Amino acid sequence: MRILYFSWVRQKVGTAEEAVTLPTGIATVSALIDWLKSRGPGYEAAFENLKLIRAAIDQTHADLDASIAGADEIAFFPPVTGG
């Protein structure tokens, strides 16, 4: 699975994208975040406040409880405002 990070999420994680093989049992965006947080302090800092994280599964916005089964790409980014 390909994971993309944008804006300050990318800065805290330290990379714009990575390919990962998920452990068995990671079935939702939230579970993916929990696993990512266990990978180091940069990930932990990036996902510290989930109210500030948005996700997209295969380029479609998704809630944190959304299933990631069959997904090719998950993107994480901060809330976006226009003006």
What is the CATH classification number for the domain harbouring 6?
3.10.20.30
Q: Is residue 83 part of a domain?
A: no
Q: Is 22 part of a structural domain of the chain?
A: yes
Angle formed at CA 2 by CA 67 and CA 57, multiple of 5 degrees: 35
pLDDT band at residue 82, thresholds of 50, 70 and 90?
low
Q: Which domain holds residue 54?
A: 2-77
3-state secondary structure (DSSP) of residue 43: helix
- Antiparallel, parallel or unpaired: β 2-5 and 73-77: parallel
pLDDT in tens, 24-60: 999 999 999 999 999 999 999 999 999 999 999 999 9
Residue 17 belongs to some domain of the structure: yes
For residue 23, tell me if it sits in a domain.
yes
Place of tokens 């599964």: 57
Torsion over CA of 78, 82, 71 and 10, rounded to 10 degrees?
-30
Report pTM.
Answer: 0.93
Q: Who has greater pLDDT, 10 or 82? A: 10
Query: Is 59 part of any domain?
Result: yes
Instruction: Please report, as a single letter, which amino acid is at residue 15.
Output: T
Q: What is the pLDDT of residue 80?
A: 75
